[in-house]
Amino acid sequence: MKSVIFGRYSNYNTPIHRIDPRVKIIGMIVFMVAIFLPLTKVGSTSQYEINMSTATNFIILGIIFLIQLILMLIGRISFISIFKSMKTMWFFLFLIFLLNILIPTNPTAEQTAFNLGTLAISYSAIFSTAYVFVRLVLVVMITSVVTSTTKPMELTFGIEWLLYPLKFVKIPVHEIGMIISLALRYIPTLMEESERIMKSQASRGVDFKNGKFKEKFKSITSLIVPLFMSSFIKASDLADTMEARGYDPKAKRTRYRMLSWRWVDTLWLIVIAIFLGLIIAQCVIGTNYMLLLMNII
């Protein structure tokens, strides 16, 4: 059950672990932007142009993959956990593939990869599925790098710090931070609870594994309802405890965990900025550059 959450914090002391959580969050956002930036020029007509941009996309994703691989090696993140977390993605991948081949493109003979009965499957369908797959893998990788090298509390503090400007538009940033940290704290507890409920329901004859979809759905209800009930009880107990220990969301509080910014963090931030700059530059001039190259040839 515990393996479901990918990228659980692993207690090592690597350079990645030591980076300030704020830098890691910013870095993660930059990487995600880079992963999802589309380079295919909209309205490209020439087949050559499309091929070129597809190729560039894969090259760029390859570079990102390499960088993330290095980060994973430095941060000592287990590759097994990433494979495990990808288990659930196959269904989506299949769905995406299905959608791609069902979009009527009427590929010409040279665009067709193979025929499935009367259905012609084009290279572009395969490529766009592969494209989505690679992107998903990259996203899982980068989030694992961040979540398994940063303590949940630090991550929360980082998010809270980054959200701080929103305070001026009356958004309760501190409360959001508290909510996130409590949610993170209670994930393992609720996991244990649901396991316990599942066992006790199974002992009363509820079958969670077999049966038709409808029956399965019904048996899941017997898990969800008690889980909800116990969560409400937990929440009210927790609220009482917090109140009893003097918590007042509106009052001023001090902090036990302080983030300390070191010069290495500045260095990492510069590296991330350069990376972002390169990505943007590639995005702006990239396709034009390709066109230029093509014209010369």
Q: Cα–Cα distances in Å, from 26 out to 46, 133, 158, 181, 295?
A: 37, 24, 10, 19, 38
Tell me, what amino acid is at 251? Answer: A
* Spatial contact of 208 and 222, defined as CB atoms under 8 Å apart: no
Select the span of 57-65, 124-132, 182-190, 280-288 touching another protein (CB under 8 A): 182-190
The DSSP result for 23-82, as a single string, is: HHHHHHHHHHHHHH---SPTT---HHHHHHHHHHHHHHHHHHHHHHHHHHHHTT--HHHH
Half-sphere exposure (Cβ direction) of 27: Cα atoms closer than 13 Å: 27
Q: Is 189 in the site for another protein (CB under 8 A)?
A: yes
Q: Residues in contact with another protein, total (CB under 8 A)?
A: 31
Q: Give yes or no for residue 188 binding another protein (CB under 8 A).
A: yes
Which residues ranging from 250 to 269 are in contact with another protein (CB under 8 A)?
Answer: 251-258
Cβ-based nearer residue to another protein, 5 or 292: 5
Name the residue nearer to another protein (CB basis): 84 or 196. Answer: 196
Is 245 an interacting residue with respect to another protein (CB under 8 A)? Answer: yes
Nearer to another protein (CB atom), residue 107 or residue 152: 152
Residue 182 binding another protein, by CB under 8 A: yes
109 lies in the site for another protein, by CB under 8 A: no
Q: Which stretch binds another protein (CB under 8 A): 98-106, 109-117, 136-144, 236-244?
A: 236-244
Candidates 39-47, 203-211, 231-239, 279-287: pick the segment binding another protein (CB under 8 A). Answer: 231-239
* C-alpha 269: how far from chain center: 21
